[in-house]
Structure 1
Amino acid sequence: MNTLLVIGSGLKYYREYLVTSIHRRARAAGLRLVLLNNLKPTWQQQYFDEIVLADVFDPAVMAAEARKVAEREQVAGLMCWDEPLVLTAGELAAEFGVPGLGLAGVHGCRDKNRTRELLTAAGLCQPGYAMTSDPVQARAAAELIGFPVVVKPRALGASIGVVMARDAVEFDAAFAVAQAASEVDQGVYGAKVIVEGYADGSEISVDGAVHKGEYLPMFLARKESGEPPYFEEVGHVVDAADPLLADEELVGTLARAHRALGVEDGITHSEVRLTPRGPVVIEINGRVGGDLIPLLGQLATGIDSGEVLFDVVTGQRPDITPTRRAVAGIRFGLPAADCVVRSVTVPTTAEGLVTASPMVEPGTTLRLPPGGYLARHSFVVCEAEDGPTCLRRLAETSAMVEVDAEPAGPPEPDATFEMPAGLLDTDA
């Protein structure tokens, strides 16, 4: 029997809605579902025919276990949506001869320096950039590029370690933050920092499907970020009627960018700045969007990212025709200062409320940048018929979240940065 191999389930509240759709499509197609995951399964059990436990964050272990599955079963497709796992998963898809981002595509997406090189070579509007692990070289590059600059790890996600330096005075501290974060990544792109010019303008993200190199935009999210110099993502809003979805310059830029990176098949999450010079692609991630953006897209447009992903990894051209016309948004709750959480209570009823959830257990320490990232204690998701109403509902519902916490002491002087649990599959 043919098998669909899934690498990494992700957290329940972030990814179960995707797994539900994929499970339904796999059953209809007569495919077995096999999950390669790093922790003992809980909620995943009802969706998968087999779950293989292994340290998927070790590329060699992941590859060895995936090959064992391929030796005994006919792998008809492979999918992965967890950022730290995407590179090896993409390489395995190419090895198994099933649809995927392709070797050029997965490396072009995962390596932010290569992204800049390829998009610049393709003639797309890009900021000046340089990659180094040496602070003296980095400072010289920043002076050459011109302030303000953004300093970030070469291959992390979720804006971890991304810092703006407005001038030379701020630069050394910004570089140290990005360098410390980059060293957490033990992969082939770890311990490197990119310095690039700041692209001034509002930030959006676009989730799109790619079928045999054809780029098919699905929905667009307007991003809300925290206070500079960091770029913590506070919320997103998806409007099915957003006029940017019909903007020929934006869609054309994204299509050219995907061709330049060599993306073959999959779903991508592109982050773009709308600058006075036009849209500037900041990065293209070789996976569905995080932060429940695919759920917002489904609520707003009716496009089910799980179904689309199933289609592209099994070699089918997906139907991305919208079936709804609404607005949906998410707002994350963050503390005002570092704290230890005692309890989080979220509303169960509110105008337009779709879902809400705590994101931490009692006793969790939340630290804001640069001591920590993704310091989220909760989220709320609301929908409405128009953008202003959705934003109002998000604000009102977020205000209903109750957090009992006490101040956290400063981190130990020799404490090292650790990857936030919310970015990894730690749903024990």
Structure 2
Amino acid sequence: MTENAPGALLVIGSGLKLYREYIVRPLAERARKADLRLVLINNIRPTWQHEYFDDITVANVFDHQVLAATARDLARRYRVAGVMCWDEPLVMPAAELAAEFGVPGLSLPGVRGCRDKHDCRTRLTAAGLPQPGFALVLDLDQAHRAAARIGYPVIVKPRALGASMGVTLAADERELAAAFRIAHEASLVGDEPYRGGALIEGFADGPEISVDGAVHRGEYLPMFLARKSTGLPPFFEETGHLVDAADPLLRDRELLDTLATAHRALGVENGITHAEVRLTAAGPVIIEVNGRLGGDLIPYLGQLATGIEPGSVLFDVATGQRPDLAHARDGVVGVRFGYPDHDCVVRAVTVPEQHPGLVLAAPMAVPGTVLRLPPGGYIARHSFVICAAADLPTCEQRLDTAAAAVVLDADRVDPPPLGTRLVMPAGLLDVDA
């Protein structure tokens, strides 16, 4: 880097326009006001990104050595003032680059605690937080012994994947064998250090929520809370989320203390996290903490409901500033995802254009897309609808009727044979096709 090099914010992966432009827009505005270049390393040729980014380099971001070399080359041309990433497979190399460049980041212990679910469980248990029994196992014999010790039902999951990929509920020994195979095989599409085996956990029963929060110099600051819907049991596909700006849980001291303690235990220093929590009879139980913004358009729901702009918050925490998280709005916004009833090849998807409270509706699969339900595939969504209302019951009703207006035209196909290697869903990688 030369002495007079311009300052820059380095972004690792932009994501889909439909899913992430609302984040990039205010981020670009804040960067320009601060006289900082917005510099992107992206996996594919950019299109819509040109409007917002001053410099774009195309590289294989999923090859972490290539990503690091590309970032270091950019750091010789710019004074890197911050590094940010909101894509699950890339949060670890992004945090490593932030540490290398000496700018605010999750911290290396923090990102490992977020990425490695076994490490997360170990640290949260050591911190005295209520946690289910758990064990990292390498084969089915170990899985049987761990499940017998923990007690059925158990959750079987890969050690370091997102979007509930490979996560299965097993009620007994027979179901455990299938669940272990599913988790093990799913893990093989993830980062190499975490491939193979499975994490066995006791089932924390209760409604599930997620909380997106900012962390500034170790201080945890909740932004918005989403109530989650799941389907396709024994799997945990996320079918929808509801964000209420006035949700009473945002003022629940036990929940907030649990979240703050979890972030301290993991060593998260600066960034935005997406924490998933079960509200059990014994109190809130942290399921996992992700070192990134929530997926599934949850931050967009939060922005619409509260007025908090996630892109502006990202700018603040990446540049070492404490964000202002005061609500500018007070509404309820939800999303509902459309899933097929069986594996299929999409012919066409039609979504409603007008509907009471409808904010946005869009197809998520183009003609010719093969949608595969778990365990042969994940995130098999053909569409989504987003609705807003003044209260939760009205919002749920509007989502029901809007989702019912979606029409899927598709041809049924057989599930893939057992043992077929799983392909990482494009929706999880969050990159334009």
Q: TM-score range by the shorter chain?
A: over 0.9
Structure 2 distance, partners of 1:42, 1:356, is 22
Structure 1 distance, partners of 2:410, 2:147, is 40
1:224-270 deviation line (CA, Å, top 9, x unaligned): 00032100000000001110000000000000000000000000000
Q: Give TM-score, length-normalised by structure 1.
A: 0.99
Q: Tell me by how many angstroms 1:426 deviates.
A: 3.2
The question of 1:416 aligning with 2:393 is answered no
The question of 1:348 aligning with 2:337 is answered no
Aligned runs of 1:161-172 on 2, under 5 Å? 161-172=166-177
In structure 1, what residue type is equivalent to 2:110?
Answer: G
Residue in 2 that maps onto 1:208? 213
Instruction: Find 1:142's aligned residue among 140, 147, 166.
Output: 147
Aligned runs of 1:334-345 on 2, under 5 Å? 334-345=339-350
Structure 1 distance, partners of 2:419, 2:318, is 44
> Which residues of structure 2 form unaligned runs of 5+?
1-5
Instruction: Find 1:268's aligned residue among 273, 276, 301.
Output: 273
Ranges of 4+ aligned residues in structure 1 off by more than 4 Å: none
Structure 1 distance, partners of 2:300, 2:417, is 38
Residue in 1 that maps onto 2:114? 109
1:196-240 deviation line (CA, Å, top 9, x unaligned): 000000000000000000000011000000032100000000001
Asked if the contact 1:38–1:425 (Cα under 8 Å) also holds between the matched residues in 2, the reply is no
Aligned runs of 1:356-395 on 2, under 5 Å? 356-395=361-400
Residue in 2 that maps onto 1:6? 11
> Which residues of structure 1 form unaligned runs of 5+?
none
Residue in 1 that maps onto 2:165? 160
Instruction: Find 1:50's aligned residue among 32, 48, 55.
Output: 55
The question of 1:238 aligning with 2:243 is answered yes
Secondary structure of the corresponding residue to residue 378 of structure 2:
coil
Instruction: Find 1:35's aligned residue among 12, 37, 40.
Output: 40
In structure 1, what residue type is equivalent to 2:42?
Answer: N
Residue in 1 that maps onto 2:99? 94
Asked if the contact 2:159–2:199 (Cα under 8 Å) also holds between the matched residues in 1, the reply is yes
Secondary structure of the corresponding residue to residue 392 of structure 1:
helix
Q: Tell me by how many angstroms 1:416 deviates.
A: 1.2
Q: Percent identity?
A: 65
Q: Tell me by how many angstroms 1:411 deviates.
A: 1.8
Q: Tell me by how many angstroms 1:302 deviates.
A: 0.8
Residue in 2 that maps onto 1:199? 204
Residue in 2 that maps onto 1:404? 409
Q: Tell me by how many angstroms 1:187 deviates.
A: 3.0
In structure 1, what residue type is equivalent to 2:267?
Answer: G
Q: Tell me by how many angstroms 1:414 deviates.
A: 5.3
Q: Give TM-score, length-normalised by structure 2.
A: 0.98
Q: Tell me by how many angstroms 1:13 deviates.
A: 1.2
1:170-198 deviation line (CA, Å, top 9, x unaligned): 11001100111011113322224100000
Instruction: Find 2:179's aligned residue among 149, 154, 174.
Output: 174
The question of 1:333 aligning with 2:306 is answered no
Residue in 1 that maps onto 2:3? none
Secondary structure of the corresponding residue to residue 176 of structure 1:
helix
Residue in 1 that maps onto 2:327? 322
In structure 2, what residue type is equivalent to 1:93?
Answer: A
Structure 2 distance, partners of 1:30, 1:377, is 41
Q: Tell me by how many angstroms 1:281 deviates.
A: 0.1
Instruction: Find 1:307's aligned residue among 307, 312, 320.
Output: 312
Secondary structure of the corresponding residue to residue 239 of structure 2:
strand
Instruction: Find 2:294's aligned residue among 289, 298, 305.
Output: 289
Q: Tell me by how many angstroms 1:413 deviates.
A: 5.3
Instruction: Find 1:118's aligned residue among 98, 107, 123.
Output: 123
Structure 2 distance, partners of 1:177, 1:317, is 42
1:140-161 deviation line (CA, Å, top 9, x unaligned): 1011100000000000000000
Structure 1 distance, partners of 2:339, 2:241, is 15
The question of 1:217 aligning with 2:222 is answered yes
Worse-matched range after superposition: 404-413 or 17-26: 404-413
Q: Tell me by how many angstroms 1:347 deviates.
A: 1.2
The question of 1:84 aligning with 2:89 is answered yes
Residue in 1 that maps onto 2:231? 226
